[in-house]
Amino acid sequence: MSKDVVKVDEFEALAKKKMPKMAFDYYASGAEDEYTLQQNRDAFSRIRLRPRILVDVSSVNTSTTVLGFRIAMPIMVAPAALHKLAHPEGEVATARAVSAADTIMILSTTSSCSMEEVAAAAPGVRFFQLYVYKDRQISQHLVRRAEDAGFSALVLTVDTPRLGRREADLKNNFTLPPHIANPNMEAFVKHDKKERNGSSMLASWADKLFDRSLSWKDVKWLKSITKLPIILKGILNGEDAILAVQAGAAGIMVSNHGARQLDYVPPTISILEEVVKAVGGQVPVFVDGGIRRGTDVFKALALGASGVFVGRPSVFGLAVDGEAGVKKMLEMLRDELERTMTLMGVCSVDQISRHHVETEHEYNNGCNCSHHMHSKL
């Protein structure tokens, strides 16, 4: 149970004890050598905080606005597939926890509960994660269902013309247990558990459905068939960020897919500021990958993020204690962020600025950068 958990990291070790190896490895592993998986975490430790003192912090407020929606904290839940691998109630339990925490959840296309079930589970703001498939009618059908179910935005994953090589899934011969399905997609595809040509079941499924010809014109096509705002998830450089704005994106998520696609790409926090500068405030920029502490959240906000998304901690919290585990994970991150803000001399999210952090390059080079030298008092 989660009552003895005192930090988010502890959920992973407890989940490993509770979950079948195949399911745990599916969530925990990354692509190939898992270099980027480790770097997603380690890169946060290379950013230092610069607190201001003697500031009245008797009232600290973690609330913020994302795409016009007011939420209790800039910490949201990233899309992750097949939550029923972690807990029998799956995404429905996650949705209840996110609703209780008054924040936003992105539901995966490959969820193990239907988008309608999740929408009915609890009140709150939810976004729907989408792929554009070879058969555009599948994507269009999913968009219509998401609109009808009351989802407030679409999150288009743009880094997956095919699945990355996840060697843990290959070793475990990953297959879906018979009691778990992908109801959002079951009208379009059946998971073939026999013919996989040496790849995992999900990789085989993706090869059949995912469109490797996907390009910027398809982002414009998606924008033409819906009035929902579209966030592009999977951008890792400023050049693509500029193209995303030109294509009509309402937001950008700096993401390397939890280090599950291409190994040896940069950790997301190290790319965030480049993307923020490239878009110049035209759209909000979010980040996921490796966030386990309130200090991580603060660092991301200081580098220009409008909010962060957490993926694996949600699933591990769910595995350990169902809805209560996800709720505790989110509460711990919010409480840590609030404490960090208090000790940093910051009373609201919009007061967090670049002045509050220094990167490894800056402190190794004794940087007296202008953004550190101008007092805001």
Active site residues: 257
Quote the DSSP letter at residue 347.
Answer: -
- What are the residues whose beta carbons fall under 8 Å from the beta carbon of 305, sequence distance 6 or more? 74, 254, 272, 276, 285, 286, 287
Residue type, 86: A
**Token pair belonging to 271:** 């790319």
Crossing angle of helices 294-302 and 268-279, rounded to 10°: 30
Crossing angle of helices 312-344 and 294-302, rounded to 10°: 70
- The residues that bridge with 309 in the sheet, in sequence order, are 76, 288
Q: How many angstroms from the chain centroid is the CA of residue 25?
A: 18
In whole angstroms, give the CA distance from residue 158 to residue 255: 10
- Spatial contact of 315 and 338, defined as CB atoms under 8 Å apart: no
- Spatial contact of 107 and 79, defined as CB atoms under 8 Å apart: yes
- Half-sphere exposure of residue 261, counting CA atoms within 13 Å on the CB side? 19
